[in-house]
C-alpha cells in the first residue's frame, strides 16, 4: 500500500487544479474567442445589392466595425431563392469571421426545397433576430370590395377568377397568399413575378387583383388611394395603418405572418463568439441612427437572446413546412 500524506495530497490536488486551469486558458476555442475578431468580418447577404436586407447588412456592418474595431465587409451571394448564399455561410469556417444576414426565406426554404446542401437547423447557429416586418393584403382600388370580409365573399362569388401576385414562388408574399386561401377556403390563382417592382406595376395597372406585399413598398400607393389595404398579417395592427384590421381579428386567430431578418453564424462557432455578437448587436439595435435605417425600410427592431431567436427559427421552420405541404406550393 502506498501512503500519501495529507500535505502531499493537497500539493497534488493544487497541481492538478493548476494544470486544468492552464489547459482551459490555452484552449484553442477560448483563445479564438478572446482575440475575436482577429481579422475583417464578412457578412454574407444571400440577395442582390440594394434590397432591404442588403441595406440592413451595410448599416449593421458599419456599427459592428465601430464596436469591434475591425473592418466589416458585406458580400452579396444571391441565387437559388437565397440558398446559394446560405450554403456558403453554413460551410464557412466557424470562427465568427463569416456570418450570415438573411430573412424568413431561410425558414420557408427548409420546407419548400427538398435538396438543400445544408441542414437549416443543424448547420447554422442563430445569433439574434434583427427586425420584424409586416405584410399587407392590398387590392387595386377599382375592385368592389371595401373590406377584408367583402373581399372573401367576392372571391367566393368569383371562384377561380381572381389572381394574386407575388415577388416569386416560395417567397413570403406567395406563401402568405397560400395560407390565406387555405384558412378562408377561397380560390385565387398565384402569379409569380421576378421581384417586387413588376408586381406593383401590374397591381397598379389592374393586371392582377391582389398582393400580400411588404408594407414599405405598398404604403405610398395605399396613401395615394391607388391601392386599398384590406388587412395586415401581423398579430396586432400597425401604427402606419391604424384603421386596417389584422386577418386574425376578423375570425382567423391562427393567421400571423411577420417577415424578419436575422443574424446567423456557422454551426460550432464558439459560444463565446456567438454571445459576443449577440451582445454587440443588441447594443446596435438600441442605437437611434441604426433604428432610423430600419424605420425607413418599414422594419421594427427586435433583438433578444440567442435562445429566443433559436426557438423562433425552429417554430418558423415547422410552420412554413406545414403551409407548403397543405398548399402544395412549389419553388421556381
pLDDT digits (tens, 9 = 90+) for 63-91: 999 999 999 999 999 988 899 999 999 99
State the pLDDT confidence band at 329, using cuts at 50, 70 and 90. Answer: confident
Q: What CA–CA distance (Å, rounded) separates 153 from 212? A: 18
Residue 9 has pLDDT above 50, yes or no: no
pLDDT value at residue 25:
56
> Do 32-132+260-327 and 134-250 come out as alike in CATH topology?
yes
Tell me which residue of 270, 234, 246, 258 sits closest to 312, measured CA to CA.
258
Question: What percent of the chain clears pLDDT 90, i.e. is strictly above it?
Answer: 72
CATH of the domain spanning 32-132+260-327: 3.40.190.150
Q: Supply φ then ψ for residue 304, to 5 degrees.
A: 110, -165
CATH fold for domain 134-250: D-Maltodextrin-Binding Protein; domain 2 (3.40.190)
- Helical H segments across the chain, by residue range: 6-25, 28-34, 52-68, 83-90, 105-112, 148-157, 172-184, 196-205, 215-224, 271-284, 288-296, 306-327
Instruction: Give pLDDT, residue 18.
Output: 61
Average pLDDT, the chain: 90
CA dist list (Å): 319 to 21, 108, 111, 290: 45, 9, 9, 30
Q: How many CA atoms lie within 13 A of 37 on its CB side?
A: 21
Locus of grid cell 448587436 = 281
- DSSP lists the bridge partners of residue 301 as 131
Domain boundary assignment for the chain: 32-132+260-327, 134-250
Q: What is the spatial distance between Cα 265 and Cα 280, in angstroms, rounded to a whole number?
A: 14
Amino acid at each position: 500500500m502506498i501512503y500519501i500524506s495529507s500535505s502531499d495530497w493537497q500539493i497534488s490536488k493544487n497541481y492538478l487544479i493548476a494544470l486544468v486551469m492552464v489547459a482551459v486558458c490555452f484552449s484553442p476555442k477560448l483563445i479564438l474567442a478572446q482575440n475575436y475578431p482577429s481579422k475583417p468580418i464578412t457578412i454574407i447577404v444571400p440577395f442582390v445589392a440594394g434590397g432591404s436586407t442588403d441595406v440592413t447588412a451595410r448599416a449593421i456592418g458599419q456599427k459592428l466595425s465601430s464596436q469591434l474595431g475591425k473592418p466589416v465587409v458585406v458580400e452579396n451571394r444571391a441565387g437559388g431563392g437565397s440558398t446559394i448564399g446560405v450554403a456558403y455561410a453554413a460551410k464557412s469556417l466557424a470562427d465568427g469571421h463569416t456570418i450570415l444576414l438573411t430573412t424568413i426565406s431561410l425558414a420557408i426554404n427548409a420546407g419548400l426545397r427538398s435538396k438543400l446542401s445544408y441542414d437549416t437547423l443543424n448547420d447554422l447557429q442563430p445569433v439574434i433576430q434583427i427586425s420584424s416586418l409586416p405584410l399587407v393584403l392590398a387590392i387595386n382600388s377599382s375592385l368592389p370590395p371595401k373590406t377584408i370580409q367583402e373581399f372573401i365573399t367576392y372571391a367566393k362569388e368569383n371562384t377561380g377568377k381572381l389572381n394574386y401576385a407575388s415577388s416569386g414562388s416560395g417567397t413570403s408574399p406567395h406563401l402568405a397568399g397560400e395560407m390565406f386561401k387555405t384558412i378562408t377556403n377561397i380560390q385565387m390563382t398565384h402569379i409569380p413575378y421576378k421581384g417586387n417592382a413588376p408586381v406593383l406595376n401590374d397591381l397598379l395597372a389592374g393586371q392582377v387583383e391582389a398582393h400580400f406585399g411588404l408594407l414599405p413598398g405598398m404604403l405610398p400607393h395605399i396613401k395615394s388611394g391607388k391601392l386599398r389595404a384590406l388587412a395586415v398579417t401581423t398579430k396586432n395592427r400597425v401604427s402606419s395603418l391604424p384603421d386596417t384590421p389584422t386577418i386574425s381579428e376578423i375570425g382567423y386567430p391562427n393567421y400571423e405572418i411577420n417577415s424578419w431578418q436575422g443574424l446567423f453564424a456557422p454551426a460550432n462557432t464558439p459560444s463565446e463568439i456567438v454571445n459576443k455578437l449577440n451582445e454587440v448587436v443588441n447594443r446596435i439595435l438600441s442605437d437611434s441612427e441604426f433604428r432610423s435605417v430600419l424605420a425607413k425600410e418599414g422594419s421594427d427592431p427586435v433583438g433578444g437572446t440567442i435562445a429566443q431567436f433559436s426557438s423562433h427559427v425552429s417554430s418558423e421552420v415547422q410552420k412554413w413546412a406545414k403551409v407548403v405541404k397543405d398548399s402544395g406550393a412549389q419553388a421556381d
